[in-house]
Amino acid sequence: MSNVKITIPKDFILGAAASAWQTEGWSGKKEGQDSWLDAWYKNDRHVWHEGYGPAVATDFINRYREDVALMKQAGLTHYRTSINWSRFFTDYENGVVDEEYAQYYDNLIDEMRRSGIEPMICLEHYELPATLFETYGGWASKKVVDLYLLYAEKVFARYAHKVNRWFTFNEPIVVQTRVYLDALRWPYEQNTHKWMQWNHHKNLATAKVVKHFREKGYSGTIGCILNPEVTYARSSAAHDQQAAQIYDLFYNRVFLDPLVHGEYPQQLMELLEKHNVQWDYTEQELAIIRENTVDELGINLYYPHRVKAPSRAWNPETPFHPAYYYEPFELPGRRMNKSRGWEIYPRIVYDMAMRIKTEYRNIPWFVAESGMGTENEAQFRNADGVIEDDYRIAFISEHLYQTLRAREDGANCQGYMLWAFTDNVSPMNAFKNRYGLIEINLQNNRERRAKKSAHWYRTLGETRTLQITIDDEWK
């Protein structure tokens, strides 16, 4: 065992993240302002753990002052959340702002700034207005790209003088992958063509928003938050290596390459054509993407993804899916978060950092989400009523260590953001797995209480020193 101390640079972000829909609740929401997530919850409530969904969430919209005080208490330097597009307008076609909701964001941003916490705002965190999903097919439509640009224009005009860090999407690949590729979420339509169309239109929307942001001369940066799955092949054999390469192509590079390099990978284009995946794009759209790459990336990192070459022939009666080229692989003996069913492998942060350094022009980036969801945390409550979440402290320490080590080795990494600040609602899992520095007590009016990790995180920020025990002993 080695006891290691590593200095955290003064300009290194130590923050936390959440989203509008996972925290705010529906208080004050008007008829017709449902998001896709609200519609999913209303149509399919039985799949959400114990029926909890976005209806109340953590009631942040009414309790943000209390929560900002807790952010300060936990030592956050930055807090990332989203604006809920579905609530920002009362008329999506004409861009009529819901003044009540917009004023809430004025108040929230002002409250954060008074407390010395830098706001980082994402324009879309799965909050596509339900009516645009139902009317136009969501991101399958170029009309929605235009309406999203209108939304971004209105948001920037209102808040750009208060916010310096902007992001077009959080995890832009997720919704269409769950709905159209894997058919795991409402409305359960397996359609690879729509999946790729959504990918393209989100890339195009990002480029158009970046173009507008720069043409207006707004100060600050504009980026995107991705969730690339750091992918490892089962073996060094060519067939397994190809499986990992193609997985990476479809799930990671489909956004990484256009956002940073301005173009889709040629191999991806060839495979889409080979499998007759129908998606509509123009040379003009590709030019817009090419000319308007992002300033920075947020990278969400939780677990590794391991694959192997497929062991069975593809069923020709089913539509093309990237799984034509791979199968999941479970590493024997892997370390697991048994609550979440995810492998724990902190090395993913370092490996992703080195990849960005060498393959993506060492663009500025930061860990935008990293965290540990644990079920039944009440079992760790001490005699004083505080949850002693040493497992979370260990998880953060190990992943932060890999982040700082990568920075020392030349990665242009700007910080580490924990998911999440408070316990909050997750898709389907609801409050089953808790991620927060702050406990949300559902049985007592959503009372807030700092966990042990919140006090530790504050000390981390004050001392700017990470102390960690590395298991490097030959036993």
Residues with a known catalytic role:
171, 369
Residues in the chain: 475
Listed in sequence order, the residues at least 6 apart from 383 whose beta carbon sits closer than 8 Å to its beta carbon are none
Nearest alpha carbon to residue 76 among 450, 333, 432, 447: 450
- What stretches of 292-359 show up as alpha helix (H) in DSSP? 347-359
Reduced 3-state DSSP string for 353-421: HHHHHHHCCCCCEEEEECCCCEECHHHHECCCCCECCHHHHHHHHHHHHHHHHHHHCCCCEEEEEEECC
Distances in Å between the alpha carbon of 173 and those of 161, 254, 359?
A: 30, 9, 20
Torsion of CA 268, 272, 273, 277, to 10 degrees: -160
Residue 190's Cβ-count burial label (10 Å; 0-12, 13-18, 19+) is middle
CA 394, 395, 396, 399 torsion-angle sign: positive
Answer whether 346's CB lies under 8 Å from 399's CB. Answer: yes
- What stretches of 173-280 show up as alpha helix (H) in DSSP? 174-176, 192-215, 238-248, 254-260, 266-274
Residue 37's Cβ-count burial label (10 Å; 0-12, 13-18, 19+) is buried
Answer whether 287's CB lies under 8 Å from 353's CB. Answer: no
Within 10 A of 142 (CB to CB), how many other CB atoms are there? Answer: 18
